[in-house]
Structure 1
Amino acid sequence: MTTTLSRTVEDQRQRFYRLLPDLLADDPRAVAVFAVVGLGHLDPAAVAPVRDRVIDVGIREQLLIGAAGGLALTGLRPIVHTFAPFLVERPFEQVKLDLGHQGVGAVLVSSGGSHDWPAGGETHMGRRDVALLDTLDGWTVHVPGHPDEAEALLRAALPGNDRVYLRLSAQSNAVARLATDGRMQVLRRGFGPTVIAVGPLADRVLEATADLDVTVLYATTVRPFDAATLRATLGEPDVVLVEPYLRDTSAAEVSRALRGTRHRVLGLGPGPAELRRYGTVDEHDAAHGLDVAGLRHAVTSFVRG
């Protein structure tokens, strides 16, 4: 596990579009499946040599997943891309049956995070995605916090045949903390509660808890959940989850990890209520308590009990 010093010059989605033609060229099994969204961001010259392995099914999200399942049955490795609610929520039955029930894999790459594009409204907000995938078996879920992490996790996922969800966001931490082994990284050690920061929320968590006696863990892979690191670094048996998707999504994972230990869990993240004013990303973060001030207030109140 290492920390690079490279600063973000492009967001995760932009990195994915730039990287995709090279991934297809390097791996003859790889095939990209789109439902219109994202195709216009690919460099035509870069994608030309592999154009026969870039498939657009049109605005048909159920077909998007169904086609991926069929391609996987032939031995190919589908990379499937669109906004999070179109990739997981709308075609959920196909995700369940055409991939899971058939026992085949794909790499689902979403964009938009939970509210990265507020102007798109509720139709383009994907805060429920990880919670939905939790109802299915056999999914690996990555939530990178930096474009370098997104690239490393995508490259590591391609050689397999399993089911992988890579959740991309326009938000980012200042530096990459590269890890592809599924383990959480220890960003700070303390004697008090443990705060688990997921993906692009790590920098805010570190700032919000700067003077608190807490352990801060950083997760870019949330499924499978790294129970071993949580148990190994646990001080007081109190855990704060800071997730960029539906709050409390991983609360059950923490409870399973600490089964037999009396503990408290506080889940922070976007709530289930629909915020009907489009606003800005920062305003949505603040409304959900995910800005530094909101995180500070919630964690401090929890620590003081």
Structure 2
Amino acid sequence: MRQTFVDTTTALLAEDPRTALVLADISAAAFAPAATRHPDRVLNVGIREQLMVGVAGGLALTGLRPIVHSYAPFLVERAYEQVKLDLDHQDVTAVLVSVGASYDRAAAGRTHLSPADVSLIDTLHDWTVHVPGHPDEVPALLRAVVAGDGSAYVRLSTLQNDRPLGGDGTLAAVRDAGPGAPLLVAVGPVRDAALAAVADLPVTVAYTHRPRPFDVAGLRALAGTDVILVEPYLAGTSSRVVSAALADRPHRLLALGVGREDLRRYGSSEDHTRWHGLDAAGLHRSVSRFLGSRREAALPV
């Protein structure tokens, strides 16, 4: 996904003189050819993430469309105050593009982990969030948000599904278990694990790479009584949206994702996926327990 982002952004810089790119050393080498061709629109401020976002706010005030890029914890968590003030409060917009996701660089330690990034972006006003599940989904969605005029966060990861799914992010049913079946919503690169997890269960699976704005109409059309939410970041990030969308219906919600406990471990991204129960086996255990609790409650005493 990262290389696809570099290639697409390099093309956008050549095609649209409104496009700018602001870096804080991360990926600077990859963008060196673009910086040589467009020195006035490719800016590397060094390891100063807060300044990076502030510069993007200034560029936006001049009418440019800035793309701002770094690791998720540096881009969203470290520079959150500048995102809040220099973009939102000034009523200007930018496209933030992160790498690293929740734990892609787990071997680098806690400084490079960011499971709470989407939750933080969710505190801001009217942002679009894309969490692509495959590198081939990146070019179209990146071009769309750069061509737009709103603020957007694009969350790239080394984790990916086997194949891309296109579309604008509305919920797409990738497995239909019939009317009234429990609905599992898989966001981004957890789709394949979710499908494998429910292969022997009567569960409908829907996919989206755009958790914000959440496809409320699609959710209401697909959801029965039981809804399972699987997100590759902090568990429960979209719970409020799902609950509000179904507030007029009796429903149960199981929210799965990265846990809040600080594991204080290194390991690989695959290790963290397993430790947080986001692999197929872990998801199967959680979903089976959730659906089994309803069956047990229905048994006569």
State the TM-score bracket (shorter-chain normalisation). Answer: over 0.9
* C-alpha displacement of 1:230: 0.8
* C-alpha displacement of 1:89: 0.7
- Alignment TM-score, normalising by the size of structure 1: 0.93
* C-alpha displacement of 1:304: 1.4
Aligned to 2:161: 173
Which residue identity lines up with residue 118 of structure 2 in the other structure? V
* C-alpha displacement of 1:282: 1.1
> In 1, Cα distance between the equivalents of 2:123 and 2:67?
22
1:143 aligns with 2:125: no
Q: Pairwise mapping of residues 11-26 of structure 1 onto structure 2 (< 5 A)? A: 12-26=1-15
Coordinate RMSD, CA, aligned: 1.1
Q: 77, 80, 100: which is aligned to 2:65?
A: 77
1:225 aligns with 2:218: no
Aligned to 1:7: none
Aligned to 1:154: 142
Q: 193, 196, 202: which is aligned to 2:191?
A: 202
Aligned to 2:79: 91
Q: Pairwise mapping of residues 144-293 of structure 1 onto structure 2 (< 5 A)? A: 144-180=132-168, 182-190=169-177, 191-235=180-224, 237-293=225-281
| Contact 1:195–1:215 (8 Å) recurs in 2 | yes
| Contact 1:82–1:111 (8 Å) recurs in 2 | yes
Which residue identity lines up with residue 47 of structure 2 in the other structure? I
* C-alpha displacement of 1:47: 4.9
Q: 81, 90, 95: which is aligned to 1:107?
A: 95
Which residue identity lines up with residue 22 of structure 2 in the other structure? V
> In 1, Cα distance between the equivalents of 2:10 and 2:239?
38
* C-alpha displacement of 1:279: 0.6
* C-alpha displacement of 1:19: 2.2
- Alignment TM-score, normalising by the size of structure 2: 0.94
Structure 1: where are the runs of 5+ without partners? 1-11
| Contact 1:21–1:50 (8 Å) recurs in 2 | no
Which residue identity lines up with residue 203 of structure 2 in the other structure? V
* C-alpha displacement of 1:50: 2.3
* C-alpha displacement of 1:67: 0.6
* C-alpha displacement of 1:251: 0.5
Per-residue Cα deviation, 1:231-286 (whole angstroms, up to 9, x for no partner): 11123x11111100000000101101101111111111111111212011111111
> In 2, Cα distance between the equivalents of 1:48 and 1:60?
21
| Contact 2:13–2:34 (8 Å) recurs in 1 | no
* Corresponding pairs, count: 291
Aligned to 1:117: 105
1:64 aligns with 2:52: yes
| Contact 1:269–1:288 (8 Å) recurs in 2 | yes
Per-residue Cα deviation, 1:139-160 (whole angstroms, up to 9, x for no partner): 1101000111111110111112
1:33 aligns with 2:22: yes
> In 2, Cα distance between the equivalents of 1:45 and 1:65?
22
> In 1, Cα distance between the equivalents of 2:63 and 2:35?
22
Aligned to 1:294: 282
> In 1, Cα distance between the equivalents of 2:171 and 2:69?
26
> In 1, Cα distance between the equivalents of 2:248 and 2:132?
31
Which residue identity lines up with residue 174 of structure 2 in the other structure? L
> In 2, Cα distance between the equivalents of 1:296 and 1:40?
42
| Contact 1:34–1:56 (8 Å) recurs in 2 | yes
Please state whether the residue corresponding to 1:32 is helix, strand or coil.
Answer: strand
Distance 1:63 1:46, change over 3 A: closer
* C-alpha displacement of 1:49: 2.1
